[in-house]
Every structure is written in C-alpha cells, then in structure tokens.
Amino acid sequence: MNRKFKWITAIVAVSCIALVAGCSSADKKASGGGKESVAVVLKTLSSPYWKYVEAGAKAAGKEFGVDVVVVGPSAESEVIQQVNMLEDQISQSPDAIVVAPTQPETVVPVLETAAHSDLPVLLIDSDADFDGKTSFIGTENQTAGMEGGKLLASMLQKGDKVVLISGALGNPATDERIKGAKEALKKAGLEVVAEQPGDSDKTKAMSVMENILQKNGEVKGVFAANDDMALGVLRAVESKGLDIKVIGTDGTKEAVESILDGKLSGTIAQSPYNMGYQGVENALKVIKGEKIDKRIDSGIDIITNENAEEKLEFLKSISK
C-alpha cells in the first residue's frame, strides 16, 4: 500500500512538473519571451524560383527572431509528397503555417483541419478557397501571364504564330499564367498554334519545343509559364538557329543573365523573395494577435534588357 502511494505521488509530481513547464512555456511566449515557430511548405525546393521564396522566408525569420522551417518535395509534380510534408509539419505544432499549394483541391482537406484547430494558415503564390484561411500573399498568376503575353506581343507583328508552354497538368499557378498570356496574345491579333505542358522542367520543355518546331516552322514567339521551361525552349530554338522571341516567368538569376546575354527576350517576376518574406512576416503578426489583410499583393516586375542588370544585382545579394 505504501509502495502504491509512492507511485501515485511520483506520477502526480511528474504531471505537475509537465503542467508547470507547459504553462511557463505558454506564459513565456505570451509575454514575448519565447521564440515563435513558422513552418513553410513550398511546391518544391529544386528550382531557383522556390529557392528565392525560401531565402525570403529565412531572411524574415532571422530579422524577426522566428524559428522558420522550410520544406518542399523533390518536384512540383510530387503532389502527394507535398501533402505528406504538410501533415508532418502540422503534427509538429508550429505557431503558424505558410503554404504554396501545388494542387489546392488536394491539400485543402489538410488545411481545413489545421485551420479548425486554430492554426493560422497563410497561402503564398497559389490561392485556395477554404474556410479558415488567414490570408493569401502573392500576385494573380493570370495577371502575370497577361503581362507576359503583352510583352511578347509588343515584340511581334499582328498575325504572327506563337506557342504556349504550360507547367504540369493541373498546376493552377501555371494554368492561370497560360490563361492570361493567351488572352493577351489573342487580343493583340497573334495566332496560338500550339499549347503543350513542359512540366516546369527545362529538359522536358526543350523536347516539347523541338517537336513543336518540326510541325510549325514559322513560329515567331513563345511564352513559357516558368523560366526553367523558357530556357529549355531557348535551347531548342538555338539548336535550330531560329530567331524566336521567348518570354519566361519567375525572374530567376539564370533567366536574367540570359536576357543580359541577348538570348531570352524577357521574364515576368512575381517577386518570390517578397512572398517568402511577407509570408513569415505576416504569420508572426497573426501569432501576436494582429489583424492582417485577406489578400496581400507581393508585386510584379517586368524584366527586359533595360532593367535586367539591376535585377541581377538584387538576385546575387539574396543568393549569398
């Protein structure tokens, strides 16, 4: 009986310690003494664009004293891998989560569960419609595509034939970019002779463009839904010795360098660094009880040879 009493006393003591520790941690965070944590789940970490988002998120974490964890699958096509990563990050109980959903309809059930448990959910780059969403930070992908289409059209003549290279099938961000570009190109009187997916991959886009050129030798311009695909398209064009204007999207360092070399004609940058930075910055505001806007515009840059040098200097500074 005495031994049983001792065991009960020990269990109660441990429970009290754990309770006190938990309360102390909560009190510490409430008083500003703790370090807030933000999980950032991206579409991938294998491309320059998402590396810039990661750099922005980590810069904000360093500036504001926030623990920031950034994860992403091996490729944008790995949708289920992203879902698994999202579930894993949520299970670790961060104070807020920032997500760039590859396929919103696939991740929404997980995000809804998180939001219902009072976890702030902020979306960047690609929006999704669900109850409990805290905010969307980014730009409208359709608007970015439209600006790309307008830029390409300004370099061509009415009636010229153009090609659209989209991302992985079902990727809403690249789909919306293509939609916007197509609208602008048709409005300018250009003829879209082909629209093919390049899966946001340089090699795949090169192969796709080579096949398109075999059937359409009079193509004058191409809009690609990201820079990796634009650079792949450029390889195919250069191998044929053709003069075709190629516009990309994302404003990556390699793309900007290509513009300065007189190869790529331009790119539309959706300020990925700003998305990552503002995602963490606004997540911290929410954690502290502040109200933020439901939609936050991270801005668009139209990059040509006229401003590419300035953009390149900025990209070099955040890549260090």
Global pTM exceeds 0.85: no
The Cα–Cα gap between 14 and 11 comes to 5
Number of Cβ within 10 Å of residue 18's Cβ equals 10
Residue 289 tokens read as 């009880």
Strands 37-41 and 96-99: parallel
Sole residue written with tokens 């933020």 = 292
Q: Which of 160, 189, 209, 170 is nearest to 80 (CA)?
A: 170
Kindly write down the DSSP assignment for every residue of 48-74, as one continuous string: HHHHHHHHHHHHHHHHHT-EEEEE--S
Q: What is the CB neighbour count within 10 angstroms for residue 166?
A: 27
Distance from C-alpha of 304 to C-alpha of 299, rounded to nearest angstrom: 17
Q: What is the pLDDT of residues 249-286, one digit of tens each?
A: 999 999 999 999 999 999 999 888 999 999 999 999 99
Of 9-18, 51-60, 81-90, 166-175, the poorest mean pLDDT is in: 9-18
- Check if the beta carbon of residue 224 is closer than 8 Å to that of residue 246: yes
299 has pLDDT over 80: yes
> Mean pLDDT throughout 42-70?
95
Q: Which H or E run includes 234?
A: helix 227-239
CA dist 46 and 50 (Å) reads 7
Report the share of the chain in percent with pLDDT over 90: 74
